[in-house]
Amino acid sequence: MTKTRPKRTAHLGLITALGVFIALAIAGIASAEKPTVVRAGNLELTFNGGFTPKVLSKTKPTPIKLNVSGKIATLDGSHPPALKEFLLETDKNGAVNVKGLPTCSAAKLQSQDTKHAEAICRPAIIGAGTTDVQIAFPEQAPIPAHSKLVVFNGGEKGGVITFYIHAYITVPTPAAIVTTVKIKKIHKGRFGTEAIASIPKIAGGSGSVTSFSLAITKPGVLTLKCPDGKIQAHGTAVFSDGTKASAEVVRTCTGKG
């Protein structure tokens, strides 16, 4: 990850696991062969990932499959802040394509456990993985929660593509967590796509993502072309405690043709 100078009101690299997943999955830019570790104050974030194929056309969008994973922890073992929103601007040479694919709605996913969510909207599934959440209530030991992650295509309307990321936790009480991601085209220099992810409160705001692994495997959903040997993205994370943080990612690719 390229180092950036933090804003006065932010901490460098404060992007939680879910935020990093959204950035990498939508942009299709995870190409690190070794884990990347970012430390910022009391936080330590580790992520890794890769896409195939790594050799891309210089002029034609190439379908890719993406795998990402990551962890977030505090150096002193305290509970990390929860991610509230993530704004991502991605390289104009990457694209998200859902035309003609089956869709699902948030209403169908709410209140459903993973098994039923998959059964209801199976044709709309574009990726899957796992996540770990830490739930911390005052004067109580943190409660760990593990869940499968499932990414569903919500379709395209008015030039805006929607993804839904579904998870289901059983502690402290059973609850579905559905993150909505809105994606649209922009014209901003190097960047050609904007995505805004709205992350709901977990356990009333007491839950934070601590790890994840996920693969986007639906053919054609993510594409890249490589005209100049690099792919760029810029993200800003907003946290429940009011913290804002920005970071930029630059990855290399090999162009042909």
Q: Residue 95: count other Cβ atoms within 10 Å of its Cβ.
A: 20
- Which amino acid, residue 110? Q
Domain ranges of the chain: 17-256
C-alpha 131/C-alpha 181 separation (Å) is 17
Whether 225 and 57 have beta carbons less than 8 Å apart is answered as yes
Is residue 6 reached through a cis peptide bond, with omega within 30 degrees of 0 on the bond before it? no
Whether 4 and 52 have beta carbons less than 8 Å apart is answered as no
pLDDT for 213: 84
C-alpha 205/C-alpha 241 separation (Å) is 10
C-alpha 240/C-alpha 19 separation (Å) is 13
- What residues of the chain score a pLDDT lower than 70? 1-34, 36, 39-41, 47, 49-50, 237, 242-247
pLDDT for 56: 95
pLDDT for 30: 43
pTM of the model: 0.83
* CB burial string 187-221: b at 16+ within 10 A, e below: eeeebbbbbbbebeebbeebbbbbbbbbbbbbeeb
pLDDT for 235: 73
pLDDT for 13: 29
